[in-house]
Structure 1
Amino acid sequence: MAAKNILLLTGDYAEDYETMVPFQMLEMVGHTVHAVCPDKKSGDTIQTAVHDFLGDQTYVELKGHRFQLNFDFNEVAPENYDAIVIAGGRAPEYLRLNERVLEIVQHFHKNDKVIAAVCHGIQILTAAEVVKGKKLTAYPAVAPEVKLAGGEYVDVPATDVVVDGNLITSPAWPGHAKWIAAFLKAIGTEIKL
């Protein structure tokens, strides 16, 4: 297995599990993962959030861990990466307003590189206009954006994944086992037990 270079896009109040678990898992199997956030450098931290259901009609946002970034956003050259992972949570809401973020995502789309997004991370995909004609899932509250952007929203359990070519999406962190497995397969990683 050849190690891959993977870009992990995250930001303040990204979902804790959707940042830390993919970062650690992809490094564990030998890939190089650059975790970045606009306007931040290697060594800076982001504040993550834990989203949970406590009996209300929607999730609550609890303070998560401080996550240390390991690469400068301003130094990202998308041509140097094999795939991108986009964390969900609240961060995509503001990250999608950054033109450079959208350009980076468009590079992966135009060059048929693997793109994975979880939960609200799909908001960045819709803003980058890369979902038209694609089947994908997201946190259910993002379904209207997927449809307005020309994507086909697929309603699946939070533990599931939707794969359409090089696009891998999951509704939320409970889908980590399936979407990370699909992601590893898509980038050619074989794990032998």
Structure 2
Amino acid sequence: MLSQIDGEHGSFNLTTFADELRLYFNSNSAFEIRVEQDCGSFGAYLTPLKTILINLVSNASKHHDRSSGTIRISSERYPNYVEITVADDGPGIPKQYQDQIFVLFQTLKSRDEVEGSGLGLALVQKLARSLGGSVSVVSNPDVARGTVFTVRVPLNTPSAKTPNDIQGLAA
């Protein structure tokens, strides 16, 4: 597994991937996926990065409290890393639960209310860390609707990664 991940470094473009996301979520056309800013193509480990974004977009639509909404994604390049944000216009996540959302098997709603195993955001965090990056959340439903997840991944060349950098992905 590690050698496969080590070998799948390629060019990632947010606008192109958003087109793939729209096809993937075409059964839920009530949610618009909008690219607000695209920093252009950059090198990335494609499967982990795409898995992170699929989970974040899926959560944004699954946990929305309305039948339609907008999911905004953007990317910005910095000298040593890229930041990708996924923002929704849903109900938000109360501050007292924001640490819990990254815990394995933790869900904020009962499984009767929302289909989910509590794996998605724990996986997002694990994958981001395995890439040498991070994921954070900003949401304050007392002030405004919506949640913003920010994923930060370093700009690395494929030779800079070793299998030890991506440990635990097979777990």
What TM-score results when the alignment is normalised by the length of structure 2?
Answer: 0.27
Pair member with larger Rg: 2
